[in-house]
Every structure is written in structure tokens, then in C-alpha cells.
Amino acid sequence: MFVPPTDLVPVRTADGSYTLDSATLGEHYHSLYGALTESRHVYIEQGLLATGKRKLDILEVGLGTGLNALLTWSESDRLGINVNYWALEPFPLPAGLHEHLHHTAVIGAPERQEGYTAMMNMRNGGAVELSALFHFHRERREVQHLDANEAFDLVYFDAFAPAVQPDMWTVDVFRRVYRAMRPEALVVTYCAKGDVRRAMIEAGLRAERVPGPPGKYRMLKAIRPR
């Protein structure tokens, strides 16, 4: 059973952005080669922009530090993409810890700090309209209890690595994700392990390895076939 770490500390990554590190887990929330670079590559470029859609329902499995949600909100407003964003995070960060990551300053949008803080401090089941185009919802539900049916156009899968949270990367989990996706919806993740790709395929997804962000040769992108 996964026990959330209590020793999280901010760490600056190679591109100047920050992540959180846990000595207990031997794990960090983002790539040390660049937290911002990784999130942009995996979830924005290979995910949001790759859909080609102007209106999306997005599911994030693992809100973490909120960087993926913050970037998606920014891109939603910049490109005029209407986004309904649902984040699952059963283990939210300790209160106030996100403030030490300087995410809004790093992405060049300090004016989004109030909205970002609202996302990170939101109670279970809360929702907020951060702009005319971006609506954010948050639940503490675990993905193992996800019961949505053809509700999402895009899934950001951002759990801790399989070595840390093996129960997040199973065939059963990806079957639930598959059911939650609409036909031709995408799921993207930083992970490229063969066991994960095979679990996705067994769940019914068409999965492939694509170029990863700096420091990571490959990542996984999968589609629910029509």
C-alpha cells in the first residue's frame, strides 16, 4: 500500500523550474532534467496539442504539484481551447508547499497565482471556473475507483513511477482508463516501460513509444481505437 511521503523538499531542475523530492521514496515529482520542459513535452505537445481539438474534457491521474493543470490552463487561454479539466489526487500536497515551487513565475504568468492557489487548495469535489475557457474540478478519488464511461478526450497519466506505485500501472487500471476515454481519445505518460505498454495494449489501447523529453529517450502515447 502506498504511503505518501512526509519529507518533500523543493529542488531546482536543469531548466530552472522546481520539483519536489522525497528521500524516503527515492523519487521526485518531475524530471530533474527540467520539470517545466518535461510537462510541456509530455502533456502539452504530445497530449493537448496532439488532439487537434478545440474543446476537450481532460482527466489527470495524479495532480501532484499542479504544473500540468497550470500549463493546460495557460495554453487553453492562449489558443482559445475550451477545456473541462478533472484531476484525481488522493494524496494532495501539504498545505502551502506548492508556493515554494514558483510555478506561475517560472512559466511567465505570475498573474495566474491566485487561480493556481485555488486549484491546489481546493477541497474534495470542488470546482472553479478559472477563465471563460478553463473549468477545473478536483477529487481525492483513486484511479482504481474510476467509473467514468466515454467521458474524456485526453488523459494525463502522471502517477509516480511503477517501482514506487506499481498498483497504478496495472491492466485493471488501464481498463478503467480505457472505459473513461471516448473513441480516438489519447492517453499520454512520461513512462516508457515495456510492462506498462503491454498493460495498455491488454486493456484495449493502441500504445506506442514516441520521443521523450530531455533525459528520457521515450515516453508512451496511446489511443482508444474507434
In sequence order, the β-bridge partners of residue 8 are: none
Residue 29 lies in a domain: no
Q: 80 falls in which pLDDT band (50, 70, 90)?
A: very high
pLDDT at 144: 97
Between vectors from CA 102 to CA 100 and to CA 21, what angle results, nearest 5°?
50
pLDDT at 1: 78
Q: What is the mean pLDDT of residues 163-168?
A: 95
Mean confidence (pLDDT) of the chain? 97
Question: In this structure, are residues 202 and 187 in contact, taking their beta carbons and an 8 Å threshold?
Answer: no
The residue written with cell numbers 512559466 in the block is 107
Can you tell me the distance from the alpha carbon of 54 to that of 49, in angstroms, rounded to the nearest whole number? 9
Total domains in the chain come to 1
Residue 196 lies in a domain: yes
> Above 90 in pLDDT, residue 2?
no
Can you tell me the distance from the alpha carbon of 26 to that of 38, in angstroms, rounded to the nearest whole number? 19
CATH code where residue 49 lies: 3.40.50.150
Amino acid at 51: T
Residue 137 lies in a domain: yes
Residue 3 lies in a domain: no
- The range of the structural domain enclosing residue 76 comes to 34-223
Q: What is the DSSP letter of 146?
A: -
Is the pTM higher than 0.95? The answer reads: yes
